[in-house]
Amino acid sequence: MKKLGLQRCLNRPRSQDLIIYVARNVKGSVVSYYHFSRTASHLPRPGTLEEFIDKFMTGRVLWGSWYDHVKGWWDKKDKHPFLYLFYEDMKENPKREIQKILKFPEKDVSEDILNEIIYHTSFDIMKQNSMANYTSILRAMKTNHSITPFMRKGMPGDWNKHFTVAQNKKFDEHYQKKMTGTTLTFCTEI
């Protein structure tokens, strides 16, 4: 998110607003965004994965730099009331992460309700749920699901089936430069 967008969210006058920010590993984000861009007629054509990786690394994609986005929110996490979560943590231990979400607005639920939440927010169940998978909205936006579904696999680490060894090395070097000076760390697989 560009700084203006981040500031707009954090400077809202309503103190009862709660923000939950979910960050995803950069390589998983690249692959997911690439496949979504292939299906979405309203977005610029992504080109090859190699071309898209280059655009992504330099922030020349719609919505700008992933690095600025995740670091901008991370840097504000201790000064503003929002919850910063990681997609990979949600996949690894959904119960723990849902409990964090419930604790954030100080909500208590029974174990049965917690288990229902875990079930209904699992990737496989959400993938089948038209209210979660954006089927009707994406149809209206003219996305082509014959290329790839909106919700593909949802698995951390799937990026390594897409990146070549050379792309991975180049990306890792770029990532190290861009993430220098932050305490923000991501896991790449679970």
Q: What is the pLDDT of residues 88-117, one digit of tens each?
A: 999 999 999 999 999 999 999 999 999 999
Q: According to the model, what pLDDT value does residue 63 have?
A: 82
Q: Are 85 and 24 in contact (CB under 8 A)?
A: no
CATH of the domain at 65: 3.40.50.300
Q: Give the number of domains in the chain.
A: 1
- In-domain check, residue 156: yes
- In-domain check, residue 167: no
Distances (CA, A) of 38 to 32, 130, 155: 10, 21, 19
- In-domain check, residue 92: yes
- In-domain check, residue 123: yes
DSSP 160: G
- In-domain check, residue 175: no
- In-domain check, residue 143: yes
- In-domain check, residue 174: no
- CA gap 180, 178 in Å, rounded: 6
- CA gap 135, 137 in Å, rounded: 6
Distances (CA, A) of 120 to 25, 33, 68, 167: 23, 24, 32, 36
Q: According to the model, what pLDDT value does residue 2 have?
A: 42
Domain that holds residue 52: 18-160
The answer to whether residue 179 scores a pLDDT higher than 90 is yes
- In-domain check, residue 133: yes
